[in-house]
Amino acid sequence: MPHTSPPQPVAITGMGVIGAFGRGVPALDRALAEGREGVAPLTLWESSIRDFPVGQYPDRLENALHEVPGLSVRAHRRLSRSDALALVAAAEAVKQSGLTNLATAGAYIGQSVCGTLTSEELYIEARRRGQAGESTRLDLSGAFVHEGANTLDRLADVFQLQGPTLSFMTACSSAANAIGLAADAIRAGRCNVMLAGGADSLSRIAFNGFCSLKVVSPDGPRPFDRDRQGMMVGEGAGLLVLESLEHANARGANVLALLTGYGHSCDAHHLTAPHPEGKGAIAAMREALTMAGLQPGDIGYINAHGTATLDNDRTEARAINAVFGEDSVPVSSTKRFVGHTLAAAGGVEAVVSIRALQQKKLPPNLGLRVPLDDAKLDLVVATRDTPSLRHVLSNSFGFGGNNAALLFAEAN
């Protein structure tokens, strides 16, 4: 919907992230600065197609959970891998925000895999027992973590949240929509503080499914490359603490950045393919600009969805050209750093975008050899200093034509 005047921006006071680069914002900073890619072999389970790399969290997730305060032994036993990723990122974000009482806060989380990995393991064990002639009676308590609501339940339990909680499943735009709609809830006065972002783990169904679609690259993603071969499935979480500006200023919070614009659209074109002219992507980006009261020329960087699939990169590049013109704004995708973290992508890349604003440095588009010839983009090939950077756009586009765009501005 068009906006007659820009609404009040929402403050971001905390960030947490985990993924193929490691745990925490400092680990992400190091990976981006060093150009260290997250392309790695699959080790979570045995697979006949493990030659395809993934963006897997490289350390024991169990160790990272020790940093989550208030996690009871009982709750610890009832966590999916997605739940654990969300809790680790949330703990970092809450700690940075300085908030000690979240009783009135809520959480909006983007998800798609949820507890599928745990459910797969239960099924595999039951099948093994059946084939071996053993009893197939299993402890099915692990199945309780299958649904997405389990992540919200664990967040509410650990951080004592009593505000609104919702899980969003709009494919790969889920986390971005969770962040944008959490900001809307704050502007509407439903709450003053929200945890928002996304979390997704690797799973057999997701990995095998994308491989069967023949959209996974054998050597990792090369976003916006002419000879790109496909994506890389990843896992991770990215969460933000959002506050009304009034609430943040009243408690003297350190405001990291402002969320000023949000656009959401649907192509209504195809289940898996974007509209060839990028109509939905164009609509989402323009709506975010309108909400923020900005012109295309105000944007200093676009963190692209850039999955490195043939259709996505071609369509997104054309959509960026339609909104911003050719070669008019620096663009990069950070998918080779983290993989495509599915529903978590918008959360992880929101953190990347905010760090670009804070550090005045644009992350490189790793893996680029020859730029695509479908559209002309100012692709960031090496870390670029941008002292005048004030506004950053982050794109997240998903199956079903679900498109989201978030606009971040430097804190005043």
Catalytic residues: 172, 305, 340
* End-to-end Cα distance, the chain: 27
Q: Give, for 81, the enclosing helix (H) or strand (E).
A: helix 81-97
- DSSP letter for 225, please: B
Q: How does strand 330-332 pair with strand 301-303? A: parallel
CA 389, CA 120: separation in Å to the nearest integer?
A: 45
Helix runs in 132-215, H state only: 149-159, 174-187, 204-212
Q: How does strand 106-110 pair with strand 22-23? A: unpaired
Q: How does strand 378-379 pair with strand 361-362? A: unpaired
- Identify whether the C-beta of residue 6 lies closer than 8 Å to the C-beta of residue 293: yes
Per-residue tokens: 401: 């034509």
- Identify whether the C-beta of residue 38 lies closer than 8 Å to the C-beta of residue 20: yes
* Count of Cβ atoms closer than 10 Å to residue 299 Cβ: 24
